[in-house]
Amino acid sequence: MPEGPSLRKFHLLTSPFVGQVVAKVGGSSRKINVNDLNALRLQDSQVHGKNLYLAFVAAGGPLGPTPEERVLQKEVACGAAQGRQEQVCPPQTCPQEEELQELQRSNSEAPDAAGSSGSWLRFHFGLFGSIRANEFSRANKANKRGDWKDPAPRLVLHFENGGFLAFYNCRMQWCSSPRTDPASDILSVEFHRSRALNALGAPNPICYTLLDQRYFSGLGNIIKNEILYLAKIHPLTQGSLLALSDRERLLDCAVQFSSDWLDSKLRGKGLHPQIYQKEQCPLGHTVMKGTLGPPGGFKRLTWWCPQCQPEVLPRDGEPSPVT
């Protein structure tokens, strides 16, 4: 499913439509009544981790912050984040998958009325989920029945100015406000590095911790696989066995890889993974593949090179990771 860099690109696609009024709606979604969006103004667009949030108000409502006001809000938020002292706690032994946590915590709230101020629509994208601006997605291959059928958008928003947005393979829910924690977002200027380093030092397999959205919001399975290879760390190595320098290198890889991936997306270039879904690593070694995850939690396909990423075993008396 789309990870942080993809969501940032989705945000850039929706931002030009902020301030415009929805003239017509369509789509196959049954989770919300798409007609509720008719004649509403798109007031704001925000992205947090793997979620996109769009705010809608009555057409006569406020237009939302200007670009200059957004910059000022960011500067104020950054200053507040730097000035406060936060208590850092290690993650629990078995961190749960972010998607389940979000679904369980989210309140499915319909907008009060067309005049409601600040009703937010939350988008969480599934596998191959995407947004298209002023174009529809076209089939690039035949389906299982042999038909060349174009994907059906879950939601289409046509605006008064003539443009439109099409949303594919996503879950939508109304909420009162975005669930935000910029300190956990690996692509945010407010990313809390020391809190992330502390989380990486927990006595859990490092591949579990990297997917804990409380500390690494927006980091998904592709980024996990790639940065573990770049940092030369075995996915089942317990974080508590890693030296601080190893954790710092892993965190540097996470931020740099995510930023580079976003830059490639914005320039229209594809991702060229070194280990993800590969049979050999760049050095020609045979790659191992396994389904790894915490007990009772989601298991994710993981690729690693046993030679480039040697396993660090616990010392006598220390528990071994459970797969």
269 beta partners: none
E strand residue ranges, the chain: 22-26, 40-48, 51-58, 119-133, 155-159, 164-175, 288-292, 300-304
Distance CA 51, CA 187 (A): 13
Distance CA 317, CA 319 (A): 7
Q: Which amino acid is at 321?
A: P
Distance CA 147, CA 256 (A): 41
Handedness of CA 155, 160, 161, 162 (dihedral sign): positive
Could you tell me if 157 and 163 are in contact, meaning their C-beta atoms sit under 8 angstroms apart? Answer: no
Place of tokens 């580079």: 260
The token pair at 216 is: 């690494």
Active site residues: 2-3, 50, 300
